[in-house]
Amino acid sequence: MPLLEALNIVKVYPNGVRANNNISFSIEQGEIHAIVGENGAGKSTLMKMLYGLETPTSGQITLRGQPVSIDTPHKAIELGIGMVHQNFMLVDSFTVAENIALGREPRSGAALDRAKAIQDTRQLAETYGLQVDPTARIDSIPVGMRQRVEILKALYRGAEILILDEPTAVLTPKETNDLFTAIRSLVKQGKTLIFITHKLREVMEISDRVTVMRDAQKVGTVNTRDTSIPELARMMVGREVFMVVDKPPVKRGQPVLEVKDLTYANEAGRALVNHVSFTVYENEILGIAGVEGNGQTELIEVLTGLRNPTGGEALVDGKPILGQGPRKVRENRVTHIPEDRLTNGVARDGSIADNLIIDRYYRAPYARSGLLDLGKVAQNGADMIKQFGILAPSSSLPVGSLSGGNMQKVIVAREFSSSPRLLIAAQPTRGVDIGAIEFIHQQLVNKRTEGLAILLVSADLQEVMKLADRLMVMYNGEVVAILPNGPDVTEEKLGLYMLGAARQTAEEMGAV
């Protein structure tokens, strides 16, 4: 008998969206069950019904063979089902221990026993190998630890089945590894894990079985050891996904971006970008590899005008671009796909059409004698939706209504259509689904082949190795290696540079 079973689940939201269409699946005691599917496939909706945040329009859920109606999270917790959401739900100004103990025993009036909360947290953390600092405030700890707090909170409430909704979307590769170690130890202690993701390598690494969803339906459930990434990708997208980019050899052209001895120090005087020099040429993608937090973000922020350097310079086509703000950088034909698209990439409430011209509304053809030509804006919106395969019924819809992948396509469309010389792409496919990743990768390579100079930063080493013509490794704010990309470049070799265990000489670095 399966531990949990869902039978013919249908969910139609009040606005008419059919998010789950007749879904049946089962979970076995002690397994790690991955649920995969592109953004909008209906994964979170299905999980919310298991956790009592939504109720099915029709269908039945059974637990250990018994029909149950899970109409509130409280009920789910009583039944031993816990869930960690995509967006954490912790109280920022409280400590780790307070968050974990909070609300478990709702004795109104009685103060929380802090000492006991701390002790319970310590014990729980040790039992499950989930390391946290009980006395730290939530707003002072890294994302990976916040997630462990959420997991411990669910375990403290007696969760036997733990649902993790895209837990790795916010994690660095190191944090992801730590999470997987913790998941394995949870299973050893008898827990059952449901794990949502759209990263197939993670599925292959951690799960026992996989259920694939597409367009509100279940495509199938397979044993992980009997499947492969290409097969899962095909099930998810509904067509063959090649995940290889067509990248013709091309000779690099003139230098476009020249960075010379660039330094950026924070208020405390620490050099986060430390005497960095490199060049990006026409017809090439220079990929920056490195463990996150080694100066990549600060380097990009300086180059895009968001921060002022403390030393050195950067030239685009021979003209200095730094220290004059983002608009000046753009006027020098530098475009930017920002790392955090929600805060820097789009105006969520603005329409798709408006977001596509947000950087150029004040110029022809959109501005005519000081007025915005709405016809031109709408026409451009419709063109871009078509050209970039943005899944949206109309360009007048708010960008915020799109899935992550489609939002990213809006940004890519906008940045590509401004005839740039240099594109700075930071984590261009983070949180984006496979179909869109394939598309964005191919677009980046096509633009490079046409002559664009591209500086690519990604925490995904596979992505950098797949796309880049040359690789540059940053460690501790410094450039420690620059090498041509090729079959002899391996993750292991890059890893040595990334962790600071190896470093090129100045001659080696200058040679490529």
Ligand X SMILES: Nc1ncnc2c1ncn2[C@@H]1O[C@H](COP(=O)(O)OP(=O)(O)O)[C@@H](O)[C@H]1O
Q: CB–CB of 262/309 below 8 Å?
A: yes
45 binds Mg ion (CB under 5 A): no
44 binds ligand X (CB under 6 A): yes
197 binds Mg ion (CB under 5 A): no
Which among Mg ion, ligand X, none contacts residue 45 (Cβ within 5 to 8 A by kind)? ligand X
Identity of the residue, 10 or 378, whose beta carbon is nearer to ligand X in the bound complex: 10
Closest CA relative to residue 79, chosen from 163, 161, 194, 187: 161
CB of 238 to ligand X, least distance (A): 14
Beta bridge mates, 5? 26, 62
- Coil, strand or helix: which one is 160? coil
Task: Tell me which H or E stretch contains 315.
Answer: strand 311-316
Binding to ligand X (CB under 6 A): which residues in 278-307?
Answer: none
Q: Find the distance separating the first CA and the last CA of the chain, reported in whole Å.
A: 61
- CA 242-246-250 angle, to 5 degrees, is 165
Among 25, 27, 32, 43, binds ligand X (CB under 6 A): 43
Identity of the residue, 44 or 95, whose beta carbon is nearer to Mg ion in the bound complex: 44
CB of 169 to ligand X, least distance (A): 11
CB of 43 to ligand X, least distance (A): 3
343 binds ligand X (CB under 6 A): no
362 binds ligand X (CB under 6 A): no
406 binds ligand X (CB under 6 A): no
CB of 409 to ligand X, least distance (A): 16
Looking up tokens 């994302």 gives: 143
Residue 241: what residue type? V
Query: Token pair of 312, please?
Result: 């050195």
Among 27, 32, 41, 151, binds ligand X (CB under 6 A): 41
Looking up tokens 């979970």 gives: 27
Contact stretch for ligand X (CB under 6 A) within 38-46, 310-318, 418-426, 483-491: 38-46
Identity of the residue, 13 or 361, whose beta carbon is nearer to ligand X in the bound complex: 13
Q: CB–CB of 313/320 below 8 Å?
A: yes
44 binds Mg ion (CB under 5 A): yes
List strands edge to edge, sheet with 209-214.
81-84, 161-165, 192-197, 32-36, 209-214, 217-223
Among 3, 4, 19, 445, binds ligand X (CB under 6 A): 19
Which among ligand X, Mg ion, none contacts residue 40 (Cβ within 5 to 8 A by kind)? ligand X
Contact stretch for ligand X (CB under 6 A) within 41-49, 270-278, 414-422, 473-481: 41-49
Q: Which residue has the closest beta carbon to Mg ion?
A: 44
Closest CA relative to residue 297, chosen from 430, 99, 184, 397: 430
Contact stretch for ligand X (CB under 6 A) within 34-42, 71-79, 168-176, 177-185: 34-42
- Coil, strand or helix: which one is 379? helix
Identity of the residue, 89 or 512, whose beta carbon is nearer to ligand X in the bound complex: 89
37 binds ligand X (CB under 6 A): yes
Q: For residue 34, what are the CA distances in angstroms to 45, 221, 232?
A: 15, 9, 11
Among 45, 227, 351, 380, binds ligand X (CB under 6 A): 45
Task: Tell me which H or E stretch contains 116.
Answer: helix 114-128
461 binds ligand X (CB under 6 A): no
Among 23, 33, 40, 407, binds ligand X (CB under 6 A): 40
Q: Is the peptide bond before 420 cis (omega within 30 degrees of 0)?
A: no
Which among Mg ion, ligand X, none contacts residue 384 (Cβ within 5 to 8 A by kind)? none
What does the alpha-carbon distance between residue 45 and residue 459 come to, in Å, rounded to a whole number?
A: 29
Q: CB–CB of 452/282 below 8 Å?
A: yes
CB of 364 to ligand X, least distance (A): 36
- Coil, strand or helix: which one is 172? coil
Interface residues with Mg ion (CB under 5 A)? 44
Binding site residues, ligand X, CB under 6 A: 13, 15, 17, 19, 37, 39-45
